[in-house]
Amino acid sequence: MIITTIYTDATDQSLARAAILRPTGALDRSNYDDLIRQDMAARAAGAGHIIVDMCAVERVNTAGLVALYTIARRAHAAPPDLEAGWAAIRALAEDDALFPRLAIVNPCPSVCQTLAGVPFSNFLDIHADLDTALAALVA
């Protein structure tokens, strides 16, 4: 997993310290906590916005979805109880309007299909490329 942090010039405060997380391979139980830790490190380093570039992710399973939800939730409130399993996932549909949306960039077709098939994906903003995601931050 690679973190790239973009520090924009002082005239564009809405993009100041946007961090781009770039997971690779499958986003699943074997590594979902790595993505959460990368988010925590980026926020500790001062990132105000998180963008997840999914171009190198081949598939996402339930644990990966929980990681994405947790990252979105951390921008606003405490993360969900990751030990709660399916109960935590069912709760996502009920309270996802209460916090900011997470920008996802360039997911492959199979990841798009997975994201589109879950009932709580309305906490995600999916963008075709990084420029579009960055532009959405200033809109």
pLDDT at residue 64, rounded to an integer: 93
Express each pLDDT in 10-66 by its tens digit: 455 555 578 899 999 999 999 999 999 999 988 888 888 889 999 999 999 989 998
| Domains delineated in the chain | 2-138 (3.30.750.24)
> How far is the C-alpha of 5 from the C-alpha of 58, rounded, in Å?
23
- Strands (E) across the chain are located at 2-6, 18-22, 25-27, 49-53, 57-60, 102-105, 124-127
Helix axes 32-44, 62-74, angle to 10 degrees: 10
∠ Cα 114 100 112 (to 5°):
15
Express each pLDDT in 100-134 by its tens digit: 678 999 999 999 999 888 876 777 889 999 889 88
> How far is the C-alpha of 66 from the C-alpha of 72, rounded, in Å?
10
∠ Cα 57 110 96 (to 5°):
80
Q: Minimal CA–CA distance to 39: which of 68, 76, 80, 65?
A: 68
pLDDT at residue 54, rounded to an integer: 95
Phi/psi of residue 85, nearest 5 degrees: 60, -130
> How far is the C-alpha of 71 from the C-alpha of 102, rounded, in Å?
8
> How far is the C-alpha of 126 from the C-alpha of 94, rounded, in Å?
20
pLDDT at residue 15, rounded to an integer: 58
Q: What is the pTM of this model?
A: 0.79
